[in-house]
Amino acid sequence: METVGTAGGAAQRVAEVLRERIARGILPPGTRLSEESLGAGLGVSRNTLREAFRLLADGRLVVHELNRGVFVRVLGPGDVIDIYTVRRALETAGVRAAPDAPPERFGALRQAVAAGAKAAQSGDWSMVGTADLHFHQALGGLAGSPRLDEYLSRLLAELRLAFLAMPSPRDLHEPFLHRNQAIAALLESGASDRAEAELERYLSDAQRMILDIMMKADA
Amino acid sequence: METVGTAGGAAQRVAEVLRERIARGILPPGTRLSEESLGAGLGVSRNTLREAFRLLADGRLVVHELNRGVFVRVLGPGDVIDIYTVRRALETAGVRAAPDAPPERFGALRQAVAAGAKAAQSGDWSMVGTADLHFHQALGGLAGSPRLDEYLSRLLAELRLAFLAMPSPRDLHEPFLHRNQAIAALLESGASDRAEAELERYLSDAQRMILDIMMKADA
DNA sequence: GCATATTTGTCCGTATGTATA
DNA sequence: CTATACATACGGACAAATATG
């Protein structure tokens, strides 16, 4: 009698499932995560579920209000500004490390650019969005630092919450497709200084765009 | 009948207590944190303790080995290199933001420098170490980003684990006292470019020193 | 403002699986 | 290889807080 099939701990597994559902928008921001109903659906006890909640809360994907329960996080303008501040720090660190990075690391970059182009051709703008996130994860990855990777990964997972609230994924991601490609080209040609400057502009523009749409939606 | 006196959740309280004990060296790296013995001493159940463990594990202060329990983390050379990579990214981001930072933020900087000087006078080199960490936390704080603050805080808490393994706190911290002061002075005079360069050198030297001592201790 | 129902917070007992002596 | 110790996870219980009427 084994309810679990995989190894690695039940709480982590449950957290991963919930992370996925949140990223997909199945559990939209603001949703309340009831211990009872979710636990029944996932076949785990309340105790295990609570451990999973701690994991998610620490990743900022949910907020834990005392004696009220956990809710999928809703991002405000302040959060977006904050996230972009740290993105700038981490991604530019990766770009600055590019000259000393082993050539293999550029593979992830090329791959993400290719995935973005392919998704755009088939009109799957949601997938363009994930390819964009992969590209920027790869930018940070140039630093070759597991911790930097992890922090950036969390940050981008949070940012996805903002993407979910955007009305038109196409308007959101299309303008940045070729800019990713341009940054990748600059990096491969060894012009990491210009790549960094271009990245800074990219991030500024993207931040402004998200904030604009957010403000409009509030009105 | 309330066992707890404070508000905020038992798990978080327990995690905070353990964090403190780890930072103080009461629970040295490698120590095994038994669910049973600790729970009895803290007056909380295993369930609550397990939730606290998840929190600490996520902060990398303890490692959670499946079916074996949790242990206070022992840092290897790779961890130190990694931590300094991310420190560089986050702290230089703070320094680069200094010109646009409101003047109040420099107060934490001055305060940390003063605390370091005072602790050095009284020969309390452990306190010099914490003042050093406060100073660098304040450097990152110049960016005005809650998330950057949090990531840097975690990072420095981890680094403290390495400090605990160092034989002579004085040799470790004394050489850097005046360098913190110099960086602060450069920042206040508006020369953030030179401050950034100085900070980069600082971090390189500190990293090398810790690694040297670590290698020697292994032999 | 009050009483009730729901939900969370915490603890305990227990069965099962895994690692180690 | 067996036995012991321990972590993992479940389910039930009760208190406390919150939400609802």
Residue A40 scores a pLDDT above 90: no
B66 touches strand D (CB under 7 A): yes
Taking residues A114-126, report their average pLDDT.
97
* Domain residue limits, chain B: 10-72, 77-218
Gap between the Cα atoms of A144 and A148, Å rounded: 8
B51, B82, B86 member nearest A54 (Cβ): B51
pLDDT at B6: 40
Residue nearest to nucleotide C11 (CA to C1'): B45
Band of residue A9 on the pLDDT scale cut at 50, 70, 90: confident
C-alpha to C-alpha distances, A51 to A22, A28, A59, B14, B45, nearest whole angstrom: 17, 21, 13, 15, 14
Minimal CA–CA distance to A13: which of A55, A41, A66? A55
C-alpha to C-alpha distances, B161 to B25, B27, B51, B107, B156, nearest whole angstrom: 8, 10, 22, 28, 9
How many Å lie between the alpha carbon of B121 and the closest alpha carbon of chain A? 36
Strand D nucleotides within a 7 Å radius of protein CB atoms? 6-13, 15-19
Band of residue A29 on the pLDDT scale cut at 50, 70, 90: very high
A216 touches strand D (CB under 7 A): no
Residue A5 scores a pLDDT above 60: no
Whether B48 and A51 have beta carbons less than 8 Å apart is answered as no
How many Å lie between the alpha carbon of A210 and the closest alpha carbon of chain B? 18
How many Å lie between the alpha carbon of A31 and the closest alpha carbon of chain B? 22
Residues in B touching A64 (Cβ below 8 Å): 9
Q: What is the CATH number of domain B10-72?
A: 1.10.10.10
Same fold, B10-72 and B77-218: no
Band of residue B9 on the pLDDT scale cut at 50, 70, 90: confident
Q: What is the CATH number of domain A77-218?
A: 1.20.120.530
